[in-house]
Amino acid sequence: MKTVAIIPAGGLGKRMQGSLSKQYLRVGGKPILAHTLNIFQLSPDIDDIVLVTPEEDVMSVRQTIVEHWGIFKVRHVLAGGPQRQDSVRNGLTAIGDEVDMVLIHDAVRPFITGDMIHRAVREAEKWGAVTMGVPVKDTVKRVDQGGWILETLNRQVLWLTHTPQAFKRSVIQEAYRKADEDRFSGTDDASLVERMGFRVKMIEASYENIKITTPEDLLLAELLIKRQAKESAS
């Protein structure tokens, strides 16, 4: 079975309040993107990586991230599109029919683990489509546009959705074909599969599998990296 990871890395980092795109910011002396790619590089479940970046970054990412950090599993560095969905679509067009399984993972979630990747692949083999996530901890309320509470939702059935999301290649490619046909834009890849009536299995990730999008996230990431370094040294 051949498994390919598609890593969309087209974020502009507007919430970081800086000029450098968030995937290139350094945590523990290393670009966030390099941390993320390295986990997939080390995973025996991943055969190839397709990296999708802003068009103007393709050459520099190839040199300063992929080559500099020795990420040899990256087979393609492609130009993305205006939205994440466009970038993933571009990644899907680069994989061949010999691919059985596709994992899609946010470039700025560098605390994914090899175990998460392994479980996502194994569960996707059984169910065809899975996403990782965590149960919500807080009480969640639905409010109207004026800020008035409409209802309190049952948090026992609510999950925060993470990546990776894993799919049989035929399933995710058909979901994207149908979304293009209907001009549908989803908030994640699983939503494109769900709208076809295909059931998606939720499996538990980790609360540390954070998406780095704000300065506060960056501070937390530094703490997590330091803790990992201490654990490795002990």
**Tens digits of residue pLDDT in 77-126:** 999 999 999 999 999 999 999 999 999 999 999 999 999 999 999 999 99
Instruction: Specify the pTM.
Output: 0.94
pLDDT in tens, 155-189: 999 999 999 999 999 999 999 999 999 999 999 99
Q: 3-233 maps to which CATH number?
A: 3.90.550.10
Average pLDDT of the residues in 224-231: 88
Average pLDDT taken over every residue of the chain: 94
Secondary structure of residue 58 in the 3-state scheme: helix
**In the prediction, which pLDDT does 191 show?**
98
* Model confidence at 234: pLDDT above 70: yes
Instruction: Answer whether 108's CB lies under 8 Å from 11's CB.
Output: yes
Domain boundaries, the chain: 3-233
Kind and range of the H or E run holding 103: strand 101-104
pLDDT of residue 12: 57
pLDDT in tens, 68-84: 999 999 999 999 999 99
Check residue 69 and give its pLDDT. Answer: 97
pLDDT tens per residue across span 8-46 = 998 654 555 556 789 999 999 999 999 999 999 999 999
Q: What's residue 19's pLDDT? A: 63
| 55's tokens | 């068009």
CA distance 111 to 33: 11
> Residues 209, 203, 86, CA angle at the centre, nearest 5°?
70
